Amino acid sequence: MGSMWITVMGNRCPYCQRGALFESWFGLREACADCGARFSRQPGAWVGPTVGSYGVGGVVGIVGGVLLIGGNLYFPHAEVALAFVACAAAIVSYRFWKAAWVGWLYDNGYVYPDADPP
């Protein structure tokens, strides 16, 4: 099971471990080019990665604020810089959350090739 998580974090299909998951930083493919496994089967399937990346941004913002205020490191417009850092953390982490979500979907049987039409 550990190797599957390494596979999806390495931008590979969890089903065949060959095809690429993403077309771009945010753009997940509809299906694997090698085996045809579909990555999304239901509307709203990507709420989890969105919430996860927002959570990362929130944690970064809160921890950064506590460190700025608690360490007496506050400077003019620090809140603006902190907001940019928190947003950047959310944006950067989204792809990794989405890859992990594909791995979770695969573990639960939602990532597989469609049957060939008759």
Phi, psi (rounded to 5 degrees) for 20: -80, 145
Please provide the distance, in angstroms rounded to a whole number, between the alpha carbons at the two ends of the chain.
34
Confidence (pLDDT) at 73: 82
Count of the separate structural domains present in the chain: 1
The boundaries of the domain holding residue 74 are 2-113
Task: Tell me if residue 37 falls in helix, strand or coil.
Answer: strand
Confidence (pLDDT) at 77: 87
Q: Is residue 26 part of a domain?
A: yes
Q: Quick check: 64 and 86 in contact, CB under 8 A?
A: yes
Mean pLDDT for each consecutive 10-residue tract of the chain (118 residues)?
77 89 88 88 85 95 91 85 95 92 88 71
For 39-77, what is the HEC assignment? CCCCCCCCHHHHHHHHHHHHHHHHHHHHHHHHCCCCCCC
Q: Is residue 118 part of a domain?
A: no
Q: Is the pTM of this model over 0.85?
A: no
